[in-house]
Amino acid sequence: MANAQSHTIASTDNLPDAPDITFAEQDQTGTAQSQQPPASTEGKQTKRILGIIPNFRSVSANEKLPPQSMKDKFITSTQDSFDYSAFIFAGILAGISQAEDSYPEFDQGAAGYGRYYWHTFADQAVENYNVEFIFPTVLKQDSRYYTLGHGGLIKRSAYSFSRVLITRTDAGNETFNASEIVGAGAASGISSLYYPAQERTWTKVGQHWLTNVGLDGLTFIFKEFWPDINDAVFHQKQ
């Protein structure tokens, strides 16, 4: 009797403290089934949009990341400036500008297109480095886009466009987005230096500045809703 009781105690001692938690349920064939819920894809960003457009600075909803270092800011601004897609988009924008004869001084033809192209490419790079690297480093601001990922269309659209005015510090607090506003203005001023003298007016610089800020705001809106589009159309396969 004592041996049977001792055997029972020893068997009991081998049981886990919470068998209902640690034991996986088994199906009819005896195969263990995991009870972990599937990971949520709400607000989940991808490194590229449509497999082409760089999306390196977008942070998925509710994702916690360490502060950006100066090196991080330099790398992301360089990626945005010299990614293969940057050359493609510069070519498209240069073609549109030439078709509209935006700068008559550049003339038409292949030589004219070349002038439109390098000016457009330089404009992109100058703004990227000012808005994403130089001013965020000096002002200790975070140049990344933090996805809201929940709420209605109006709420999320307003939130995303407001990021041109509101950003985070490296410490994680909200602050005025001087990196975007002042950085884009500085980039517009620098860009005017390599345009023809007739284009170096305050009006032209101001128009360029507002255009850059407006386009960045629209880009933020697209980034906000990209996870929804990707989930619905591509089922997060990217």
Beta-bridged to residue 15, according to DSSP, are: none
Whole-model pTM?
0.77
Average pLDDT, the chain: 84
Reported as type and span, the H/E element at residue 125 is helix 109-129
45/57 Cα distance (integer angstroms):
10
162/174 Cα distance (integer angstroms):
12
* pLDDT at 238 exceeding the cut of 90: no
Across the range 116-123, mean pLDDT stands at 95
Domain-by-domain residue ranges, the chain? 68-234
- Looking at per-residue pLDDT, the higher value among 212 and 34 belongs to 212
Q: How far is CA 102 from the centre of its chain?
A: 30
* pLDDT at 27 exceeding the cut of 70: no
* 20 band by pLDDT with thresholds 50, 70 and 90: very low
Q: What 3-state DSSP class applies to 7?
A: helix
The 10s digit of each residue's pLDDT in 35-93 is: 444 455 678 898 999 888 889 999 999 898 999 999 999 999 999 999 999 999 999 99
Q: CB-based contacts of 9: which residues, under 8 Å, 6+ apart? A: none
76/49 Cα distance (integer angstroms):
16
